Amino acid sequence: MKFREIINIIKDGFKGIARHFNMALAAIVSILSVLLILSTVLIIVLSVNKVVGDTKEKINEVKVFLLDGVDDDGIKDMEEKIKDIDEVKEVKFISKDEGLESMFEQWENKSYLLEEYKEDNPLPNAFKIHVNDIEKINDVAGEIKMMPGVEDVRYLSDEVIHLLKISKYMQIGGFGLIIALIFISIFLISNTIRLSISSRKKEIEIMKYVGATNGYITGPYVFEGIMIGLIAALIAILCVKFGYSYVYDYLAGSKNGMLSDALVSPENIITDFSIIFVTLGVGIGMLGSISSLKKLLKV
């Protein structure tokens, strides 16, 4: 295709949008609506995954309490054995004195209730252990529990199982919903663009009869579809950038600041969302135009 023909296609594309502005606007609104719904779903899925990830970090911990009779050498030996377990990421020894001091800090104004325990500390020595894979926490805890000198092993086993299930279901459900939205959007946008192109059926037939090639005929319409999708994508990007950022900042500054902690940060998603919106918007607009033109070109 010659450079002049490309210029003419672009000019005709802009003219087509101007002449049939109402239909083009309807297509832009349709694509924009789909992209905004898609962005909402993505934000929910990403936020849930963020909460799950943050929570997994907090509960990805095994506390091991030792018997009173374990001496310093026994503690060092046990620490080495725990470190040798494959899934163990970090081991921290907490003496009974450190444990009591930590309780004083946690109790703050009521710490005076613990004064009597300074002389006779009832707390055991302990290890705080983090594992690499939270799914292996049961295996790690079970192996440690079998070691001599261990009095008790505590960890949130049931909570871990439920958390992993929630994360898995949310990922599957979110992915399925996103795929469904994409297919629905392609169907809706194709119909919208088809209505726009059908209104120019006579124009296409005349161009066919005077010998215009399919490429020359479809060029302006495909360009229209690309521009419509691109405009919708840019508006969607602005809505997410400023609209979602406003909501996020508002929640961060309100009494419900914990909600903003649960939401994914706008700075972390805007680049990826921009790529997704432009790709989907342009792709849907282009595919909608091409699929709508097939029947009209069979003259």
In the predicted structure, residue 178 carries a pLDDT above the cut 80 = no
Residue 154 counted as domain residue: no
In the predicted structure, residue 256 carries a pLDDT above the cut 60 = no
Predicted pLDDT at 3: 67
Task: Specify the DSSP element, H or E, that contains 281.
Answer: helix 266-296
> Do residues 89 and 131 lie in contact, with contact meaning Cβ atoms separated by under 8 Å?
yes
Residues 142 and 166 grouped into a single domain: no
Residue 290 counted as domain residue: yes
Residues 284 and 184 grouped into a single domain: yes
Residue with tokens 């961060």: 252
Q: Rounded CA gap, 273 and 271, in Å? A: 5
In the predicted structure, residue 65 carries a pLDDT above the cut 70 = yes
Residues 211 and 242 grouped into a single domain: yes
Q: Rounded CA gap, 233 and 32, in Å? A: 7
Distances in Å between the Cα of 126 and the Cα atoms of 100, 156, 260 are: 12, 17, 35
Residues 134 and 45 grouped into a single domain: no
Q: Rounded CA gap, 292 and 228, in Å? A: 15
Residues 292 and 178 grouped into a single domain: yes
> Do residues 97 and 108 lie in contact, with contact meaning Cβ atoms separated by under 8 Å?
no
Q: Rounded CA gap, 90 and 170, in Å? A: 29
Residue 246 counted as domain residue: yes
Predicted pLDDT at 237: 93
What are the two backbone dihedrals, phi and then psi, of residue 165, each rounded to the nearest 5 degrees? -65, -45
Q: Rounded CA gap, 189 and 177, in Å? A: 18
Residues 32 and 131 grouped into a single domain: no
Q: Which residue has the higher pLDDT, 66 or 27?
A: 66
Residues 97 and 33 grouped into a single domain: no
Predicted pLDDT at 106: 66
Residue 257 counted as domain residue: yes
Q: Rounded CA gap, 56 and 50, in Å? A: 10
Q: Which residue has the higher pLDDT, 237 or 249?
A: 237
Residue 241 counted as domain residue: yes
Predicted pLDDT at 58: 67
> Do residues 289 and 222 lie in contact, with contact meaning Cβ atoms separated by under 8 Å?
yes
* Claim: this prediction has a pTM higher than 0.75: no
Residues 44 and 166 grouped into a single domain: yes
Tell me 264's DSSP state: P
Q: Which of 148, 170, 201 is the last residue of a domain?
A: 148
Residues 17 and 42 grouped into a single domain: yes
Q: Which residue has the higher pLDDT, 265 or 200?
A: 265
Residue 63 counted as domain residue: no
Predicted pLDDT at 189: 64
Q: Which of 148, 171, 206 is the last residue of a domain?
A: 148
Residues 50 and 170 grouped into a single domain: yes
What are the two backbone dihedrals, phi and then psi, of residue 124, each rounded to the nearest 5 degrees? -90, 160
| Mean pLDDT, rounded, of the chain | 78
Q: Which domain holds residue 97?
A: 68-148
Confidence category of residue 207, pLDDT binned at 50, 70, 90: confident
Residues 236 and 119 grouped into a single domain: no
Distances in Å between the Cα of 261 and the Cα atoms of 3, 219, 271 are: 53, 48, 20
Overall average pLDDT of the 76-87 stretch = 88
Predicted pLDDT at 274: 92
Q: Which of 116, 148, 180 is the last residue of a domain?
A: 148
Residues 185 and 113 grouped into a single domain: no
Overall domain count for the chain:
2
Chain centroid to CA 14: 36
Residue 61 counted as domain residue: no
> Do residues 87 and 136 lie in contact, with contact meaning Cβ atoms separated by under 8 Å?
yes
Range with lowest mean pLDDT among 73-82, 97-106, 197-206, 241-250 = 197-206
Tell me 154's DSSP state: E
Q: Which CATH number fits the domain that encloses residue 104?
A: 3.30.70.3040
Predicted pLDDT at 157: 64
Residue 155 counted as domain residue: no
Distances in Å between the Cα of 98 and the Cα atoms of 103, 144, 145 are: 9, 22, 22
